[in-house]
Amino acid sequence: MKRMLVVDTDAGSRRLVEALFAGRYEVHCVDGLAEACSLLSSAGFDVVLADMDCVKEGSGQPQLGRLVAAAGPAALVCAAAMDDAEPAYRSMRDGASGFVSKPYVPEYLESAVRKARARAVCQAGGQYGSLAQAVCPCNKQSSAHVSIVGSSAAMAQTREKIALYARSDAPVLILGETGTGKELAAGEIHRLSARSARRFQAMDCASIPEALAESELFGTVRGAFTGATERKGLFEQANGGTLFLDEVGELPYSVQAKLLRTLESRQASRLGSLNPKTYDIRLLSATNARLYGETGRFRPDLLNRINTLVLHMPPLRAHPEDIPELAESFLGALPGAKYLHAAAIDKLQAWHWPGNVRELRNTVIRAHVLSGNTVGIGYEYIETGGDSSWGGLQRMLL
């Protein structure tokens, strides 16, 4: 099981993190920089979640450089109250893999950890092959087959379209509800494309503060703003490869114009610079929001630029026949040889899954933990949103 180190003095925040990631991470909690660095030097961790107020020394300033060095290849996610953009600038500048604001919103925290982990693995591996193993462990398959689970007609059509789109270099807009696998589809398009040997860079537009979005995409030069250093943006990092903008509908309106110009001219300058750089990237975008007709929220000209090809990821309720196969695949990735009783599978298929495949995955992980040493997972261990006990836990988390 992957391991997470939480550096936080707030007991409530620590309990929330432990409950949210139970079954997926072995969570260890400390309350200061020295203890965190000591633990990191003696044991390996996959993710470090650190409150910036807890990584200060006598100077009163965050010592992120020391924590980054101690964390090594682990994904470092920094947290702070977002009264302004300075904490986000500082953490990303000093080497953090991600940032999340406090107090924690479970969905945003989960997203920040997932993206930071993917970014850290991608930077370590240098290409999407390593990232794929971290996000969705599976055997590397031939270019004629896409590793998206599901034998239904809906998923077969999705795989066919992904394979077809991979042959093109045109922009793709991936539409679908939260949890339907939009990021996995983007990764598969890249993996099957001619750019597969180059970088796959992803940005979660919903988790990046508005003031940080432009510098994340295009980079900065020293002095562009207080504390700014020379830094490559995602366009520069993905040059020759693929750039994936997740939840593109959340991209600040002020940044959309520059993104449009960059896509049209294939050139852009870093924040604070007048010297444009030329880029060769394949753009993939995804959203669970309605972009069409949203006047004042998303530029129509940018929408027309990114939706050359459109991929619809079906909600899980549209292909419930895939639930047993999906559940078994999630269970197979967990430690121990367990299986689902028929009654447990029936209960899974009876739920309507508003959170789609991600909710199903979390339910299977929860059942794996609740069943303890039991090899066969029965009906009683399946807690969906319709169960009062799970509904109470959701209220506690939210």
Q: What is the pLDDT at residue 144?
A: 37
Residues 137 and 244 in one domain: yes
Kindly report which listed range (93-107, 323-337, 343-357) carries the lowest average pLDDT score.
Answer: 93-107
Same domain, 46 and 92: yes
Whether 248 and 142 map to the same domain: the answer is yes
What is the CATH classification number for the domain harbouring 390?
1.10.8.60
Last residue of a domain, one of 314, 340, 374: 314
- pTM of the prediction? 0.66
Of 85, 102, 119, the last residue of a domain is 119
pLDDT digits (tens, 9 = 90+) for 360-378: 999 999 999 999 988 889 9
Local confidence band at 386 (pLDDT 50, 70, 90 cut-offs): low
Least Cα distance to 316 among 287, 359, 285 occurs for 359
Residue 132's pLDDT band (cuts 50, 70, 90): very low
Give yes or no: residues 132 and 246 share one domain.
Answer: yes
pLDDT in tens, 209-232: 877 888 889 988 887 666 667 788
Mean pLDDT for 301-330 is: 93
Identify the pLDDT of residue 88: 62
What pLDDT is stored for residue 365 in this prediction? 92
Statement to judge: residues 302 and 347 lie in one domain: no
Residue 52 burial by Cβ neighbours in a 10 Å radius (0-12, 13-18, 19+): buried
pLDDT score at 131 = 32
At 139, the pLDDT band (50, 70, 90 cuts) reads very low
Average pLDDT, the chain: 82
Query: Would you say 6 and 28 are in contact if contact means Cβ atoms under 8 Å apart?
Result: yes
User: In 3D, which of 195, 203, 193, 167 has the Cα closest to residue 286?
Assistant: 203
One domain, residues 169 and 300: yes
83 & 226 share domain:
no
* Phi, psi angle pair for 113, to nearest 5°: -65, -45
pLDDT of 282 > 60? The answer is: yes
Neighbours of 144 (CB within 10 A): 7
CB-based contact 313:180 (threshold 8 Å) = yes
Q: Are residues 245 and 283 in the same domain?
A: yes
Based on the fold, state whether residues 235 and 161 are members of the same structural domain: yes
pLDDT of 44 reads 86
- Among residues 98, 119, 140, the one where a domain terminates is 119
Q: 310 or 23: whose pLDDT is higher?
A: 310
- Inform me whether the pLDDT recorded for 174 exceeds 70: yes
Q: What is the token pair recorded at 7?
A: 């550096």
Question: In the chain, what is the straight-line distance between the N-terminal and C-terminal CA atoms, in Å?
Answer: 25
Which of the two residues, 269 and 175, has the higher pLDDT score? Answer: 175
Low-confidence winner among 133-142, 147-156, 283-292, 344-353 (lowest mean pLDDT): 133-142
Residues 132, 275: one domain? Answer: yes
Better-predicted residue by pLDDT, 86 or 352: 352
Domain containing residue 373 = 318-397
- 309 lies in the same domain as 327: no
| Number of domains comprising the chain | 3
What pLDDT is stored for residue 294 in this prediction?
52
Per-residue pLDDT at 226 = 65
pLDDT at position 119 is 67
The position carrying tokens 């750039």 is: 243
87 and 156 belong to one structural domain:
no
pLDDT for 374 equals: 86
Query: 28 vs 126, which has greater pLDDT?
Result: 28
Do 201 and 234 form a contact (C-beta atoms < 8 A)? yes
Query: Which CATH number do you get for residue 207?
Result: 3.40.50.300
pLDDT, mean of residues 156-180: 94
Residue from 205, 215, 3, 19 nearest 104 by CA: 19
pLDDT value at position 392? 46
Tens digits of residue pLDDT in 29-75: 998 888 999 999 888 898 999 998 887 765 555 677 888 888 888 88
Residue range 159-188: mean pLDDT, rounded: 94
pLDDT at residue number 43: 84
